[in-house]
Each structure stands twice: as C-alpha cells, then as structure tokens.
Structure 1
Amino acid sequence: MGKVRTKDLVKHFNFEVISGAEGLTRAIQTPDLSRPGIEVAGFFTYYPSDRVQLLGKTELSFFESLEDDEKKERMQKLCMEETPCIIVTRGLEVPKELIEAGEAANVPILHSSHKTTRIYSRLTNYLEEKLAPTTALHGVLVDVYGVGVLITGKSGVGKSETALELVKRGHRLVADDSVEIRQTDEDTLIGSSPELIEHLLEIRGLGIINVMTLFGAGAVRTYKHITLNIDLEIWEAGKVYDRVGLDEEKLKILDSHITKITLPVRPGRNLAVIIEVAAMNFRLKRMGMNAAQQFADRLEKVIQGGNNQLD
C-alpha cells in the first residue's frame, strides 16, 4: 500500500494551511472521508477520527447555532491525535475555535474554495489510487491492440526480445524486467514501470536500449490496465499443451484474476505474431465470439448426427 501524508494533499490540491502546520507530516491510512455533521451535533461515539474530515456549509451552519462553550468543545473533540486534517470547503470562513483547536493539537486545518461534493469526489479518487494495494512482478508489460499483455517466464526465455519485436510491429512498451502493479478496484490491475528503468529494454548481447529514443514517443506508455498473461516456457517433449483453447487458466495477482495462456518456446515459433493473435482472440472472446467453443459445438453436432444415422 502506498503512503500519503497531509502535505501531499496540500501540494496536489493547492489547499491553504490555516493552522496546525506542524502536523502536515501525518499519515493518511484510508481513502474513506468523513463529513462530521453528527459529531458537530455532539455525538462522538462512532467518530471516524482517522479519516480526512470535511466541513461544508451544512456542518458550519449548524455549528454557528451552538453556544460558545459548545463550539470550543466540539472543535477540540474533532481534532484527535490520529486525525490527518480537517478541510473547510466552499471558501467559508474558518471558525476561530477550529483554528485554535487545530493549533493546540497539531491537526492541520486546511481551506478550499471548491464545493464540498467536488472536493469529496476528487479526494476519494486520489486517495484510492495512492493507497491501492501494490506489488511487483518479474516480466514485461506491452499494450497489444489495446490489451494489456503481461509477458512472464523464467529468466532468459525471451521476454524482452519478444517485447522488442512487438514494439517494432507497432505496439507499445509499458515496462520491462519489473512491472509495478496497483489494484485500483476489485478486478482492476494497473501496471507501470519503475521510474529508474522507464522506457528501457534489456536485450542480452546488445545491452540496454531506450525504446522511446529509438522508436518514438508512440512506442511507449506510462501505464496500462492488465487483462492478459502470456507465460513463456521452454518446450518440453512429451508435455501435453492446450491445442483447442477450451480450458482457461487464471493468474492471481493480489486479489484479482486474469486470463493466463502458456506458450511453449522453441526455434521457429514467431512469438510476437502468436501474442498478437492471442490478444485479438482475447478481445473477440470478451465480445462473445469464442472460436474454440464454436468448434466444440460443431464437433458435437457432427457426432450426434453420426449417432442418429447409426440408429
């Protein structure tokens, strides 16, 4: 999981820091936000104090109706030790009780001129992306006909060489050697390259090449949604490989599963062309056209027809 601190929100959204600047290094652990209207009313039993707090027109309008001692007490209770920050939206005036409570507890009090609902939406999207579960896999990620293809296999099997051939055929490289993967949704995996090796390919015997320099900006991508895994393995004599395509393997990455195809490697096989066809066939399957299933249905009809003639 990534790390986000309050100062990252200030920088990204250009919030104004009103008080509590010493707490800008506080960590944000959850993408969930809170609009503490019921807490302003005095009910703190289930106060989610570890969330970013948003105070809009509704909360502050009710706050103005409180007595002076109640105002001070409610703001002090809002500023807990684990509270990342409190954001006042819509350009509303920040209550002096909140400014004092934030300064005393080192809770950053931030100010924005944008509407509460807009801030809520943008903050949620930002935090969900930054705090998404992450992992890294050894492999190559290429955008082939709009399909994010993760090429895996043992070292030296030819992953980078295959990726180079795909780039020459007009497809786009995302990452080589190490693929950083974020799970942004239940079944959504986003792959990207570590900054150190971005746009680079390592070809044994040739060394490191810069794909963007050699083939242009159109040959690379910063990130791509991963939907298909091609696993390369050295051809083993006697091993039975799938020749029809009815059985579908799955690769589990974090909590998501993607389609996996195992391709045996041996001299004479054009892996780049096979991967292109695999990507196109994968797209057709998602559109409801499964050639393997159509063949199986035809075969079943032929068999049933032959049995009927025998009867």
Structure 2
Amino acid sequence: MASVSLKTIIEKMKLENLTPELDIKKIRISQPDINRPALQLAGYFEHFEATRLQVIGFVEYTYMESFPEEKKEDMYREFLSFDIPGVVFCRELTPDPLFIKIAIEEKVPVLITKKSTSAFMAEIIRWLNVKLAPCISIHGVLVDIYGVGVLITGESGIGKSETAIELIKRGHRLVSDDVVELRRVSEETLIGTAPDITKHFIEMRGVGIIDVKTLYGVSSVRETQTIDLVIKLEDWDKDKEYDRLGLEEEYTEYLGNKIVCHRIPIRPGRNLAVICESAAVNHRQKAMGYNAAQELYNRVQNSLARRRSDDEDDE
C-alpha cells in the first residue's frame, strides 16, 4: 500500500512541529482522507478513523477550551490514546500546554498551520490523493499538446521518441519518455508523471540520450499532465481495416479508467507529429461540443433527404 511520511507532509505543507522531541521518521500516512474529531472530543469513538491525520479547526478548538480544567485531562488522554499519526491545529490556534504534554506522553505529533481549516483540508486532500493514488508504469511517451495530455504508445523502435522530439520542436511539452507513471486520482482522471531517474530525458536510437530541458528550455517540459487521449502507433497492415470517419470512439483502459484511443498505422512519409497535433485539436473540439465526423454524417443525410424530396416532386 502506498504511503507518505509525516515528515514529507510537514515539509510540503509548511507545518510547524510543536513536539520536536518525538521521532516522526517512521510515521506514515496511508489514507488520503483526513478527520475533524468533533464527535471524538465529545466522547463518541465508534467508527473513529484514528489512522487519518486529525485536523482541529476553530469550532473544535473553542469546544476544547470550554471544557473545565478537571475534565480536560481525561478528554485529551482518551482522544490521544489512539494510534494517531498527527494532530494539526489550523489558523495558528495554539493548543494548551496540557494537550502538548499528553501528546508527548502518547507519542502523537502536534502540528500547527497558518492556513484556514477549509483551505488546509482542500490542499492536503488534493495532494494526498495524488501521492496515494493507485499507480502503474507503462511503456510510452506522454506529451502536452495544446493542453491535451497525449499518451503515445507502440512497440519499441516504432518512432515514439522521434515523434516527441518533433512535437517539442513545434512548441509542445514533454512529460515523460520511455516510462510513464500513471496515477488514478479519481474515477475520471489519470495523471501521468516521469520517474525521477529519466525525467526530462529522451532516448533516440543512434544518437543517445537527449536532455530536453537543457536543449529546448524549461518551457519544453512539464512535471505532470492528465491523460486525455491515447495514440497507439502500429505498423501498417494492408489487410486490416482502419477507421476513416471516427463516428464511434475507441477506448483503452488503465486502472479502471477509460481513455479515448486512436490507432495510427505507420507508413513511410507520414508526419506523425502533425497527426498527433490534429488528433489532439480534434479531441479538444469534441470536448467543446463539435464533432466533425458527425457534422459530415448530418450533411450526407440532409443531402440524401433533399434528393428524395426532389425525386418525389418530379413525380
């Protein structure tokens, strides 16, 4: 199961650690959700998700402050007795010394952030969803073409990297070459990234390794990109029929998500970069409500209808 260390979260979210004496190196978060422990502070611990990061907002904080001193220790100790990975106080709300004392005894890190509760929750949930999303690695090239994430796949040596270089020269941006890490961040969205080792590099047979960021500048690369379209390159087969209209979409599936897929046959003289550009623009056009294939089909149907009407009038 994927997990993120608490130390990484503290650095990413710029949290202040109020319990530096605790060893947090082995504490890891394995769930993208968080919990606001309002009911737990009131004494209800049924279905308590203690493995989640606990977030204290203004309402929970004022409720804790309203407790009589003689009851605070029991409430704090009962809450912190669970195996909690950490408690975050938002809006720079400072917990009382008793809470920190018991947290240290129970080995529960106490953190603080300047952000508002809603803003912090939205940011950390979004970030954790990406970091903890189901992930697979596939062989291919991911390029941002006019804002459309195009995943180019095909057999080794078919020309994926050469196509990516041509697209980069035409002003588009590389995300990853050879290996693409796909993460399912939602039922509709797949995010593609490059492994740290091969980030910004392209391998070209006969030439070697090319550093795209150094050769073409920082505007030629990007860190992540949603997967909107898959283009599968394959050798031309004269006995195989290829879609020439595009009335029906073909899909491929990764991690349970279906992505629109085009199969492009390779023949000498075909400009793959231009084909990929056209496919990306056409995909954007469909997303905006215009389908060229459907428009052509409607024109043909209207033409046939007019001919039938003219024939009936002649009779």
TM-score by length of 2: 0.90
Q: Which blocks of at least 5 consecutive residues in structure 1 are unaligned?
A: none
Q: Give the corresponding residue for 1:166.
A: 167
**Residue 234 and residue 4 in structure 1: after superposition, are their counterparts in 2 closer, same or farther (change >3 A)?**
same
Shift in Å at residue 296 of structure 1? 1.1
Amino acid at match of 2:18: I
Q: Contact 2:233/2:263 (CA < 8 Å) preserved in 1?
A: yes
Q: 1:23, 1:106 within 8 Å by CA — same for their partners in 2?
A: no
Per the TM alignment, residue 97 of structure 1 is displaced from its structure 2 partner at its CA by 3.1
Alignment of 1:17-36 (within 5 A): 17-19=17-19, 21-36=22-37
TM-superposed CA distance for 1:62, in Å, is 2.1
- Deviation string for 1:82-118 (max 9, x for gaps)? 3110122333332233223222221111233443333
Could you tell me whether the CA contact under 8 Å between 2:2 and 2:30 is conserved in 1?
A: no
- What corresponds to 1:121 in structure 2? 122
- On the 8 A contact 2:3/2:31 being kept in 1, the answer is no
C-alpha change, 1:76 and 1:287, in structure 2 (3 Å) is same
The residue type paired with residue 278 of structure 1 is A
**CA spacing shift, 1:64–1:211, aligned 2, 3 Å:** closer
Match of 1:236? 237
Partners in 2 of 1:298 and 1:36 — Cα distance? 61
AA at the equivalent of 1:14: K
RMSD: 2.1
Deviation, 1:231, is 0.4
Give the secondary-structure state (helix, strand or coil) at the position aligned to 2:228: strand
State the match for 1:92 in structure 2.
93
Q: Provide closer, same or farther for how the CA distance between residues 164 and 301 of structure 1 changes in structure 2, counting only shifts above 3 A.
A: same
User: Are the aligned partners of 1:49 and 1:80 in contact in 2 as well (CA < 8 Å)?
Assistant: no
Q: Percent of aligned pairs with the same residue? A: 41
Q: Which residue of 2 aligns with 1:292?
A: 293
Counting only pairs closer than 5 Å after superposition, residues 92-241 of structure 1 correspond to structure 2 as 92-241=93-242
Deviation at 1:250, TM superposition (A): 0.9
What is the CA-CA distance between 1:216 and the residue it aligns to? 2.5
> Do 2:181 and 2:192's aligned partners in 1 also have CA atoms closer than 8 Å?
yes
Bigger drift between 145-154 and 185-194 goes to: 185-194
Relative to structure 1, the CA distance from residue 199 to residue 44 in structure 2 (aligned partners, 3 Å threshold; closer, same or farther) is same
1:39 paired residue number: 40
**Match in the other structure for 2:8:** 8
Amino acid at match of 1:183: R
What is the Cα deviation at residue 24 of structure 1? 4.9
State whether residues 140 and 179 of structure 1, in contact with CA within 8 Å, keep that contact through their aligned partners in structure 2.
yes
Q: 1:173 to 1:97 in 2, by over 3 A?
A: same
Residue 304 of structure 1 pairs with residue 305 of structure 2: yes
Q: Contact conserved, 1:187 with 1:255, CA < 8 A, in 2?
A: no
Distance, in Å, in 1 between the alignment partners of 2:25 and 2:59 is: 26
Contact 1:140 1:159 in 2 (8 A): yes
Whole-angstrom CA distance in 2 between matches of 1:66 and 1:211: 60
Q: For 1:6, give the aligned amino acid.
A: L
Provide Cα deviations, 1:264-301, integer angstroms capped at 9, x if missing partner. Answer: 01112221111111111112111222111111112222
| Structure 2 unmatched runs, 5+ | none
Match of 2:61 in 1: 60
> 1:37 Cα shift?
1.7
What is the letter of the counterpart of residue 232 of structure 1? L
Q: Which residue of 1 is the match for residue 275 of structure 2?
A: 274
* 1:231–1:260 CA contact under 8 A, matched in 2: yes
Residue aligning to 1:250: 251
After TM superposition, give the deviation of residue 308 of structure 1 in Å: 4.3
Greater shift, 17-26 or 106-115, is seen at 17-26
Q: Letter of the 1:52 partner, please give it.
A: L
- Equivalent pairs, count: 311
Task: Single out whichever of 273-282 and 229-238 deviates more from structure 2.
Answer: 273-282
Query: CA offsets per residue over residues 215-234 of structure 1, 9 Å max, x none?
Result: 22222222222211110001
1:23·1:107 contact (CA, 8 Å) conserved in 2? no
Asked whether the equivalents of residues 7 and 25 of structure 2 are also in contact (C-alpha less than 8 Å), the reply is yes
TM-score between both structures, scaled by the size of structure 1? 0.92
- 1:233–1:262 CA contact under 8 A, matched in 2: yes
